[in-house]
C-alpha cells in the first residue's frame, strides 16, 4: 500500500538491501510499467514479476494477494542465497 501512496520512495523503506540486490539480479528492468528506476513502485513490480505478473500497459497494478505470495517467494530465495553463501564444500 505504501508503494501506491509514495511510488517514488526508496525501495529500502519496504525491502532490505539484500532483497533489492536479489531483485536486481533476478528480474530485468523491462516491463516496469513506465516507473522511474530505483523507486519503490519499480521494485514492487519486480516482486510481482517473480510470480508471473506480466506488467503489460493495460494490466492493473498487482494486488495484495499477488504481492504477498511473491514476497514469500522472495524470502525463500533470500534464505537460499544466504545458505549458499555460508555453505563450505570440501574437507
pTM for this prediction: 0.86
Tens-digit pLDDT profile for residues 16-63: 999 999 999 999 877 665 678 899 999 999 999 998 898 888 888 889
* Length of the chain as a residue count: 91
Q: Where are the domains of the chain?
A: 2-86
Tens-digit pLDDT profile for residues 63-77: 999 999 999 999 999
Amino acid at each position: 500500500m505504501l508503494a501506491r501512496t509514495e511510488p517514488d520512495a526508496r525501495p529500502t523503506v519496504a525491502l532490505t538491501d539484500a532483497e533489492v540486490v536479489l531483485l536486481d539480479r533476478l528480474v530485468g528492468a523491462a516491463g516496469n510499467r513506465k516507473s522511474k528506476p530505483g523507486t519503490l513502485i519499480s521494485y514492487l513490480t519486480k516482486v510481482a514479476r517473480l510470480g508471473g505478473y506480466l506488467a503489460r500497459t493495460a494490466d492493473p497494478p498487482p494486488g495484495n494477494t499477488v504481492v504477498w505470495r511473491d514476497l514469500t517467494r522472495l524470502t525463500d530465495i533470500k534464505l537460499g542465497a544466504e545458505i549458499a553463501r555460508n555453505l563450505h564444500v570440501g574437507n
